[in-house]
């Protein structure tokens, strides 16, 4: 049965899976809610988004997503505060970045109203799915794929924009050990590294598997030309604290313009933490680890929030990071999650009510 909510057509699922879900033991992104948002690009225009029961996507075998990798995504979360009210964190930034990715992948840009009205309507329908347990949230995955057909290597003429949701716990459990990569690369100058393009992720899996076999959790990518400069960790931007200065690499056409990354920079500056946005060489980090001035390293991203790094490996040597009381990572994580869960003042206007 179809109804209209906020001018968006909503077809409700006949049964709900919610009672099968153990909200006290959520993994990351492996259980999906009862509905999804679907919006089609056909005849040269994005059509009206619709909320429909969560269901398989059926595509012709010649759909260009299967052959030419025309796909992009975003990662977001919905947070429930103690009163049961739902909040998003800087969602307009996700919409802007989605369109930046779309442009680079030759996918038609999506109007802001399709994104925001579709998203908020979906979240209203799925409000019972948004966890209230500490550390849990509803992970939101907006994505676009080329559904148009043809074996000619050229942009598709039809696309799908979909939002699916998964109540989720932590992305990483425990402290993370990373390997600074010396051989493989994530992104080329003039390439698509700054876009949240599907192909950027698949290319990381094999080198990451090799790192996992050596006992690491994640790879820290370096520039493809010299492997001398730290770029990002694939699912996270990277911050380094040397003495009391917090340093992160500049965004570029190789590095994702992370929303958590830029929020952290703003919080740090506001809190009186010295920050530098500049290239970070591997040799600088190794030297700092050796002389004790390297206090912290952490990853920052929507899924992982702020993820402290316990040790890094480079050229067959492991370097342990100290365990600090009141680390920048813990301060910044607290600040950002307090805003997200509506536990503190929203000085920067980042919270968005659903």
Q: Which is nearer to its own copies, 204 or 263 (CB)?
A: 204
277-316 CB burial, b ≥16 within 10 A, e <16: eeebebebbbebbeeeebbbbbbbbbbbbbbbbbbbbbee
Stretch that binds its own copies, among 27-35, 79-87, 265-273, 278-286 (CB under 8 A): 27-35
Report the nearest approach of its own copies to the CB of residue 42 (Å). Answer: 16
Q: Which parts of 101-130 interact with its own copies (CB under 8 A)?
A: 103-106
Strand partners, 20: none
Q: Which of 18, 116, 150, 318 touches its own copies by CB under 8 A?
A: 150
Of all helices (H) and strands (E), which one includes residue 181?
A: none
Nearest alpha carbon to residue 128 among 35, 231, 246, 233: 35
Q: What does the alpha-carbon distance between residue 63 and residue 40 come to, in Å, rounded to a whole number?
A: 14
Report the nearest approach of its own copies to the CB of residue 253 (Å). Answer: 9
Q: Which of 46, 201, 229, 319 touches its own copies by CB under 8 A?
A: 201
**Which DSSP string do the residues of 185-206 spell out, in sequence order?**
-S--TTSSTTS-BHHHHHHHHH
Report the nearest approach of its own copies to the CB of residue 11 (Å). Answer: 15
Residue 190, interface with its own copies (CB under 8 A)? yes
Q: Which of 42, 188, 287, 324 touches its own copies by CB under 8 A?
A: 188
Asked if 19 and 137 count as a contact pair (C-beta separation under 8 A), the reply is no
Non-local CB neighbours of 32 within 8 Å, separated by 6+ positions: 54, 164, 165, 166
Stretch that binds its own copies, among 2-10, 195-203, 309-317, 332-340 (CB under 8 A): 195-203
Report the nearest approach of its own copies to the CB of residue 287 (Å). Answer: 24
Q: Which of 3, 7, 209, 283 touches its own copies by CB under 8 A?
A: 209
Q: Which is nearer to its own copies, 60 or 128 (CB)?
A: 60
Stretch that binds its own copies, among 163-171, 267-275, 308-316, 335-343 (CB under 8 A): 163-171
Q: Which parts of 241-300 interact with its own copies (CB under 8 A)?
A: none
Asked if 123 and 141 count as a contact pair (C-beta separation under 8 A), the reply is no
Q: Which parts of 315-344 interact with its own copies (CB under 8 A)?
A: none
Reduce the secondary structure of 316-353 to three states and give it as a string: CEEEECCCCCCCHHHHHHHHHHHHHCCCCCCCCCCEEE
Q: Which parts of 36-65 interact with its own copies (CB under 8 A)?
A: 36, 54-63, 65
Q: Which of 8, 49, 50, 68 touches its own copies by CB under 8 A?
A: 68
Q: What does the alpha-carbon distance between residue 112 and residue 134 come to, in Å, rounded to a whole number?
A: 31
């Amino acid at each position: 049965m179809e109804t209209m909510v906020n001018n968006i057509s909503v077809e409700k699922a006949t049964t709900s899976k919610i009672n099968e879900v153990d909200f006290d033991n959520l993994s990351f992104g492996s259980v999906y809610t009862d509905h999804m948002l679907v919006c089609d690009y056909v005849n040269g225009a994005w059509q009206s988004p619709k909320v429909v029961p969560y269901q398989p996507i059926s595509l012709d075998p010649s759909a260009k997503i299967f052959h030419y990798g025309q796909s992009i995504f975003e990662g977001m979360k919905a947070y429930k505060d103690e009163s049961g009210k739902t909040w998003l964190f800087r969602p307009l930034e996700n919409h802007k970045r989605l369109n930046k990715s779309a442009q680079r992948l030759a996918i038609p840009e999506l109007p802001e109203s399709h994104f925001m009205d579709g998203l908020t309507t979906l979240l209203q329908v799925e409000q019972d799915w948004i966890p209230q347990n500490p550390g849990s949230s509803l992970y939101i995955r907006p994505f676009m794929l080329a559904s148009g057909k043809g074996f000619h290597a050229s942009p598709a003429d039809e696309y799908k924009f979909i939002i699916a949701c998964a109540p989720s716990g932590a992305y990483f459990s425990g402290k993370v050990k990373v390997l600074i990569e010396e051989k493989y690369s994530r992104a080329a100058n003039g390439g698509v590294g700054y876009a949240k393009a599907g192909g950027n992720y698949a290319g990381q899996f094999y080198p990451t598997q090799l790192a996992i076999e050596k006992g690491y959790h994640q790879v820290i990518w370096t520039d493809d030309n010299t492997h001398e400069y730290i770029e990002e960790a694939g699912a996270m931007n990277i911050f380094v604290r040397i003495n009391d200065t917090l340093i992160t690499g500049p965004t570029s056409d190789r590095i994702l313009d992370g929303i958590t990354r830029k929020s952290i920079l703003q919080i740090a500056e506001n809190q009186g933490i010295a920050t530098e946005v500049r290239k970070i060489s591997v040799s600088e980090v190794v030297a700092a680890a050796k002389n004790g001035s390297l206090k912290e390293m952490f990853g920052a991203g929507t899924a992982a929030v702020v993820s402290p790094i316990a040790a890094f490996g480079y050229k067959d040597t492991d370097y342990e990071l100290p365990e600090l009381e009141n680390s920048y990572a813990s301060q910044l994580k607290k600040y950002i999650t307090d805003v997200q869960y509506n536990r503190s003042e929203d000085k920067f206007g980042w919270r968005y009510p659903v």
